Structure 1
Amino acid sequence: MEIKARGLTFDVYEGGPVDGPPVLLLHGFPQDHREFDLILPRLHAAGLRTYALDQRGYSPGARPAAVAEYSLDEPTADAIAVLDALGVEKAHVVGHDWGAHVGWLLADRHPERVSTLTAVSVPHPRGLGVALHNQPSQKLRFAYMGLFRSRIAERLLLAADATVLRSMLRPIGARADRYATAMREPGRLTGALNWYRAITTGRLAKVGKITVPTTYVWSDGDPVVGRSAALSTATWVEADYRFVTLRGIGHWVPEEAPQALADVTLDRIGV
């Protein structure tokens, strides 16, 4: 369905029992709501009502031109506005990659709207910041961001039938095709890359300690986030906290290990 919020139109994919506890699903780059498809049957069978949001840059009706419109303040405000439009007072939040970043900000700034948080792959921003400052290996893992922020990023990622994008997503097999194809929509890849171009470390440094029940899921084969950043997240949660390590899994957890993620999510939600 289409949800109008903040002057934009967001595509939201709903499912599960209409009277079930609400779950807001927030995707990352370069995916969209479909990255959660493999865990949805388990969530619905458990009686949960899910809302998978195509975030700004991905929903065709939510692609503002200015880079500043993609600072993390904006998708965080989007999520609250979408919940308001849906009439959802409080939701369990599950986020992967950039969606996890948004989840951390939601839990920090709007804890009254977040029942629980399951953050996947990306740790608490402050923990990540400490690792980037102290761990040369974590800085190296983030070297790709310079390219994603550059003016040539769109051309490079889409060249030769999106070879680079497909290579990034190789661990999810044929499912990579849907994302590579979608990125050819006018403005979609630029909107997605603007999340990287709008990064401001100063604002991320202001994210405080989390006071809602939280699970952080990290995979030891993730080329983006190292162990030090993952372990540091515990310092930034002042509520029931669980740290789950998935062995032999890469960055694309919802599609590489959907059953394990479904188990962790249901355990956190408590159903």
Structure 2
Amino acid sequence: MTELSISTDAGVFDAIVAGPPEGRPVLLLHGFPQTGLAWQRQIAALAAHGYRVVAPDQRGYSPGVRPLRPEDFRIGRLVDDVAAITEELGWPTFDLVGHDWGGAVAWWTAHSHPGRVRTLTVVSTPHPAALSTALRTDQDQRERSHYMIDWRETPATEERMLAHDARQLREVYAGKVPQDSAEAYVRHLSRPGALTAALNWYRAGRPDGSIGAVDVPTLYVWSTGDRAFGRAAAHETGQWVNGPYRFEILRDVSHWVPEEAPGTLNRLLLEHLRTHGEFGTAASTPLADSPER
């Protein structure tokens, strides 16, 4: 694995890259409160099988792309980042993998740019429309999602999370993330402006547009120990995939699947990529409009 700087009109994204330059391209999107380092076990496994893998630190996590306004973190901007990063990498089509907030961005990207996304793999995060349904109809999901409302407070949330040697921020990982990785995330997010930028993903407001079903081959991995996303939204997600769909449930695994169950996730991911190796090869497919600008 090596470090890579990716220059776009929005700024410079830091990223981890591995695998042969001619390998089939895979983009990995992390969530909160992590960085591209969250995928280190998946990066190693994919690169070992000949894939070209890039895991960027997303908007706000990369110091070179850290706007101040919460509205600059709306989902359309995040989808635009994916399009810009992959264009700069010279990837007309690519496989897309996301976890947590990265999973939300992955769903929206697959919906907005189906001609460019070869396959979609989302870990933990249900389809946004499925989550919206669950928030309206399922009390359990409403209770699970209440933290999102709390974290929109500013600057109170940053002060609480970073107080006492970032004790509350460390508690988010629930002891399921390797200690060295958790310490790296805390150091990264303790730098001036970093945690505010990460929390601005929650403060950005609702998307201007709506998301429909995705058409690309999709693997969705949900774990029964996930504190953020419950059973109702997870099972509803299949109603929002028109393409080939595989739903895998990991028993007694927490939200932090890529780091807590890397072997299982790597196996599922590699199987998914091999199964759908010929999908989405139209290099000249124009970019669809993002859900917002």
Q: The TM-score by the shorter chain falls in which range?
A: over 0.9
Give 1:154's aligned residue.
158
TM-score, normalised via structure 2 length: 0.90
Give 2:203's aligned residue.
197
2:186 is the alignment partner of 1:180: yes
Of residues 39-48 and 185-194 in structure 1, the stretch that sits farther from structure 2 once superposed is 39-48
Measured after TM superposition, the shift of residue 186 of structure 1 is: 1.3
Give 2:35's aligned residue.
32
Report the Cα distance in structure 1 between the residues aligned to 2:232 and 2:108, rounded to whole angstroms. Answer: 21
Q: Which runs of 5+ in 1 are unaligned?
A: none
Q: Secondary structure at the match of 1:118?
A: strand
Structure 1 segments, 4+ long, off by >2 Å, are none
2:84 to 64, 81, 84: 81
Q: Secondary structure at the match of 2:150?
A: helix
Report the Cα distance in structure 2 between the residues aligned to 1:29 and 1:69, rounded to whole angstroms. Answer: 17
Measured after TM superposition, the shift of residue 202 of structure 1 is: 5.7
Contact 1:6 1:78 in 2 (8 A): no
The amino acid of 1:28's aligned partner reads G
Give 1:217's aligned residue.
221
Contact 2:225 2:251 in 1 (8 A): yes
The amino acid of 1:171's aligned partner reads K
The amino acid of 1:257's aligned partner reads A
CA, structure 1 residues 202+4, in 2 after alignment: closer, same or farther (shift >3 Å)? closer
Measured after TM superposition, the shift of residue 173 of structure 1 is: 3.7
Q: Secondary structure at the match of 2:253?
A: coil
Give 1:163's aligned residue.
167
Contact 2:117 2:216 in 1 (8 A): yes
The amino acid of 1:89's aligned partner reads P
Contact 1:75 1:102 in 2 (8 A): yes
Number of positions where the alignment pairs a residue of Structure 1 with one of Structure 2? 269
Give 1:227's aligned residue.
231
Measured after TM superposition, the shift of residue 6 of structure 1 is: 2.1
Q: Secondary structure at the match of 2:22?
A: coil
- Normalized per residue, the structure richer in helix is 1
Q: Secondary structure at the match of 1:31?
A: coil
Give 2:64's aligned residue.
61
Report the Cα distance in structure 2 between the residues aligned to 1:173 and 1:268, rounded to whole angstroms. Answer: 26
2:27 is the alignment partner of 1:21: no
Q: Secondary structure at the match of 1:233?
A: helix
Report the Cα distance in structure 2 between the residues aligned to 1:76 and 1:7, rounded to whole angstroms. Answer: 12
Contact 1:107 1:210 in 2 (8 A): yes
Report the Cα distance in structure 2 between the residues aligned to 1:133 and 1:201, rounded to whole angstroms. Answer: 17
Q: Which runs of 5+ in 2 are unaligned?
A: 276-293
| RMSD (Å) for aligned C-alpha atoms | 1.1
TM-score, normalised via structure 1 length: 0.97
CA, structure 1 residues 73+202, in 2 after alignment: closer, same or farther (shift >3 Å)? closer
